[in-house]
A and B are shown apart, each in its own frame.
Chain A
C-alpha cells in the first residue's frame, strides 16, 4: 500500500513531500524543501553579495541554479552593465551551465523552452511569477533574494504546505476570448488576494482544450491572485513538448539524452493529485460565458468588460512579457495589424518573450506585419514591464499592455495609467489609438499598400 492511499493528496502535498524526501506531508506542515531548480535573473549579483556572507568558495548546488539576464537588457546604463558583468563572472567562476544571456528571453519562458524545469519538480525563484511553471505541472513559487542565497549555500529552505483551491473551466472559449480573459475573470471575481497562500489547481475541459502557450498564461497570472503556486495537470502534449526540449538542451550541453529515455524520465516525474484530495474551495466557470476583459488602473482586480472603457485614448500599447509575449500572442496581434497602421499619437511596442519566439515570428512574417504597421520591435526580455528598461510612459499617459501587473508606477512613472488586456485587444487598441474590442475594429482602418501613409510623417504632422 502506498503511503498516500487512504489519505488522498493534493498536487502541492505530493510535490513538497517528494522535495522534502518524505513519504507524505500534511497541509499546513512546514517542511525543509530541496528544490530541483533555483531561479534568479538580473538580481543574481545582489544575491551573490548576500551569499558571500556565508564564506563559501563554491555554491552547494551549481547544477540546480538557473539564471537569465532578462529584466533590463541590453544594459541601459553603466550600473546595469556592471550588474550584468558581475553575474557573468559568478557564472564562470561557479560553472553554472544553465545560464542564458541577454537577448535569449524572459526567465519563465526560456526555462520552459529549454526544459530546465520538468513536470513534478519544485522550482523556487527570486521572481514573483515563478508559479508560471505550473503550466507543465511543476511546483513553482517565488521567494526573496536572501532565500535564494541560502539555497545556493545549503540547498534547502523551509516551506509551508499550502491549502489547495480548485478552479475548473468547463467548455471551450468563444472566439476572441483568451486564457488571459479567464485569468482576469477569476482575479476580478475573487480579488487580488483571493488565492492568498494557496496552491491553485486548474482543471476541466476548457483547460485541456488550450494550447500550451495559453496554459502558460494561467499559473503566471495567478501571482496576481496571491497564490503560492498553481498547477495544470501535464497531458500527452505537455510531456511530448518537454521531452523534445530536454533532448535538445542536453544535446547542446554535450550530454545528449536519447529520445526514449527523455520520454520515460519526464513521464516518471509527473505528479497528479489523488481523487478525493482536500480542497479549501472549488470555483467553476463556464467558458462560453466569458468575454474580453480589461484590468483598469491601478489594480489587477479592477476588472471590467473591454466595452466599458472603450474609447479611452492610449498613447502606448505594449505586447509582450512572460504572460503574453509568445508566438500565438504575436500571431493574433499580427493578424489584427496586418494591412493597417498604428494610430497617429500612439506607439506600439512589441517585445517577444524569447529569441525563439522572435525567430519564429520573423519566419512567419509577423515581425514584418508589425513593422509595416509602424510598431517598434524590442529585444526579447521583460522590456518595459517593470519600468526598468525603456518604453517608459510620460506622466498622464495611458498604456494598454498584455502584461500581468498595472500597479501605480509599475512601468516607471507614478502618474501614468496601465490597462491590462489580451493581445488582440492590445493590438486593436494600437490601431484605433483608443481602447477597443477587436471585434469592433473598423474595416476601413485597413489600408492598402498603395494608400499607405508613412507612420513617421503622420507622427511629425501631429
Chain B
C-alpha cells in the first residue's frame, strides 16, 4: 500500500500512552475488538466509535511517551488507522508502531499545516504528505524498517527469517 488517504485526528504535544491505552487494561484485554474499543479513551472518548479505516492521527512532539505498552500502537492498528504523523515520537512508541506495521512519519512542517478533520493523502512512493495547506516531504524510512512495515510488522518479518533458518 503506497497511498494512504483519510481524515485527520489532530492532537497536541506529549500525548502519553496512558491516555492512548490505559494501563488498567494491559494484562486483561486480549481480543482485538476489545483493545480497539479503548483506543484514546482518556484523550478523546469519541475516537474509537467514529474513526474510519485509513484515518490519520496527526500529533505534536513526543507522541506516545510513557509506557512501553504495545497496545498503544496496536489499538490504533486494530481501528484501521492508516498512519501517525507527528513532529516527533517517543522512541518506544515509534518502534512499536513500525513493528506492528503502522506507519509512523516524522514531519513537523506537515503537522503545523494540517487542520482537524481534513482529508489528507500520504504517498509512500514519493515520501510526500498532501493536505490543504500544501505538499510536505518527509524523510524516507530505511530499507530494513520499510521491510518490517511491508511484511506487516516485526513478527511476520522475523517469522520468515526463522522459518528460513530452521
Contact = CB atoms under 8 A, between A and B. Distances in A.
A386 interface: yes
B61 interface: yes
Main secondary structure of the interface of A (DSSP, over half): loop
A320 to B, nearest CB: 16
Contact of A412 (B13, B24, B154): B24
Interface stretch (B51-59, B91-99, B129-137): B91-99
18 contacts: A30-B142, A30-B144, A43-B26, A55-B159, A128-B66, A128-B67, A146-B70, A146-B153, A146-B155, A154-B161, A154-B162, A193-B90, A386-B67, A387-B23, A405-B16, A405-B66, A408-B18, A409-B42
Given A50-B155, A153-B162, A193-B61, 7 more contacts: A49-B30, A126-B68, A144-B73, A150-B158, A158-B144, A388-B26, A405-B18
A146 B24 contact: no
B48 interface: no
A299 B16 CA distance: 9
B18 A407 contact: yes
Contacts of A130: 68
B87 to A, nearest CB: 9
Give the 10 A-B residue pairs with the shortest CB-CB distance, closest first: A193-B62, A386-B23, A407-B18, A144-B96, A409-B42, A128-B68, A144-B70, A142-B68, A407-B16, A79-B28
Contact of B18 (A72, A193, A409): A409
B100 interface: yes
Interface residues of A, number: 52
Interface residues of B, number: 42
A71 B69 CA distance: 13
B88 interface: yes
Given A30-B142, A146-B155, A149-B155, A79 B27 contact: yes
B23 A412 contact: yes
Interface string A2-15: 00000000000000
A193 B88 contact: yes
B79 to A, nearest CB: 18
A409 B26 contact: no
B65 interface: yes
Nearest to B15: A407
Contacts of A408: 16, 18-19, 42
B22 interface: yes
A226 B27 contact: no
B90 A388 contact: no
Interface in B16-45: 16-19, 22-24, 26-28, 30, 42
Nearest to A415: B42
A342 B69 CA distance: 35
B18 A147 contact: no
Contacts of B153: 146
A42 B95 contact: no
Nearest to A130: B68
Contacts of A143: 68, 92, 95
B90 A196 contact: yes
Contacts of B88: 193, 196
Interface string A43-54: 101100110011
Contacts of A50: 155
A83 interface: yes
A80 B29 CA distance: 10
Contacts of A397: none
Contacts of B100: 146
A434 B159 CA distance: 55
B14 interface: yes
A283 interface: no
B162 A55 contact: yes
A244 interface: no
Nearest to B60: A193
A56 B68 CA distance: 25
Interface in A259-305: 299, 301
A197 interface: yes
B154 A150 contact: yes
A410 interface: yes
Contact of A228 (B28, B91, B144, B162): B91
A132 interface: no
A154 B18 contact: no
A80 B162 CA distance: 31
A410 B163 CA distance: 40
A222 interface: no
A405 B100 CA distance: 26
Nearest to B153: A146
A53 B155 contact: yes
A439 interface: no
Contact of B91 (A30, A55, A153, A197): A197
B65 A226 contact: yes
A77 interface: yes
A144 B96 CA distance: 6
A197 B5 CA distance: 29
Contact of B62 (A54, A79, A128, A192): A192
A153 B153 CA distance: 16
A127 B66 CA distance: 10
B107 to A, nearest CB: 16
Nearest to A405: B66
Given A54-B162, A192-B14, A42 B27 contact: yes
